[in-house]
Amino acid sequence: MENEVDLFYRQMPKVELHAHLNGSVSFSTIEKLTARKPHLNIEHNMTAICSGQRRTLDECFQVFKVIHQLVDTEEDILMVAKDVIRQFADDGVKYLELRSTPREEKNTGMTRRSYVQTVIEAISQCGNEGLDIEVRFLVSVDRRHGFEVAMETVKLAEDFMLSTDGLVVGLDLSGDPTVGHGGDLLPALQKAKNCGLKLSLHMSEVPSQVDESELLLNIPPDRIGHGTFLHPEVGGAQSLVDKVTMNNIPLELCLTSNVKGQTVSSYSNHHFLYWYNKGHPVVICTDDRGVFCTELSREYQLVASTFGLSQEDMWSLSHKAIDYTFASASLKEQLHRRWLELRPSLFQTVPN
């Protein structure tokens, strides 16, 4: 049975802005996928990093490769996306921006275009179920795939932005940060921004990326994923901090992901506090809730307990996150109203 604190964070309305589709697949969904493909001999410990475990960043990317073996048809994508959306809704998330790299699988006939179409169909079907959650999609550019694929992906994102009545809202730059150089993809990212797509860029996930981060910040992006090594105390540069603060670029912060992926040594050493103390916009996110065995309500609770923040502080973080979404102005207004409607019952039920 959940205690009052657990219940507070589960019931508190939340915004999730950094959730990779395949990394968010739950244990129950993995079981359904492995039942469909027993010949792969995939066990759960190959697809998740559970309590007390840590992996190197490279090992984390190996986990994603295993999941990709399980999710290689439109049917798989539809089931996975619907399950992920429902599970975020069950955790009190009222607005979700999913992100994923369009993949083609020659063995099954899935194309990058059909991949995105299937995610959009899942969002639409969940909408018809009457779930209390608004979902939008960011098309991801995997930095490992190079410039040509990046340009194709931007064109795909633009096409779907125009054809889905606002369901596709942005472009994500992600993939193994140790491979390639983000500067090589600048023309593709600039093209995306010019055509009206919002940009969320993984940046400074690993040390020694000051030059790359300088180039990416010149665009500038609309949000930053992780930003672990931006500030000078951890090997970044004051010039990076100055650009981030001057442009007021929100950071998507994923504590459990960073600790289990060993880019941050402990929760108490997480860079959340550096930016929070500056009064800079930060959004608490999960990154890969399935792989890292977490939920957004748990991440909020971790932040509160680690840094001594009150439930009022956490409510404020959640409420402000609405302004950092890529939602339309009218949807942001609706979400603000929804938060204010829910607030009295939440604080009455679970006193601070």
Name the residues annotated as catalytic: 205
Residue written as tokens 């931007």? 154
Could you tell me if 118 and 81 are in contact, meaning their C-beta atoms sit under 8 angstroms apart? yes
SS3 assignment, position 162: helix
173 φ, ψ (degrees, to nearest 5):
-105, 120
Structure tokens at 193: 């921004």
The whole-angstrom distance between residue 143's C-alpha and the CA centroid of its chain comes to: 16
Instruction: Give every CB contact of residue 331 below 8 A, 6+ residues apart in sequence.
Output: 95, 134, 325
CA distances for 287 relative to 3, 155, 228, angstroms: 25, 25, 13
Q: Which helix (H) or strand (E) holds 4?
A: helix 4-11
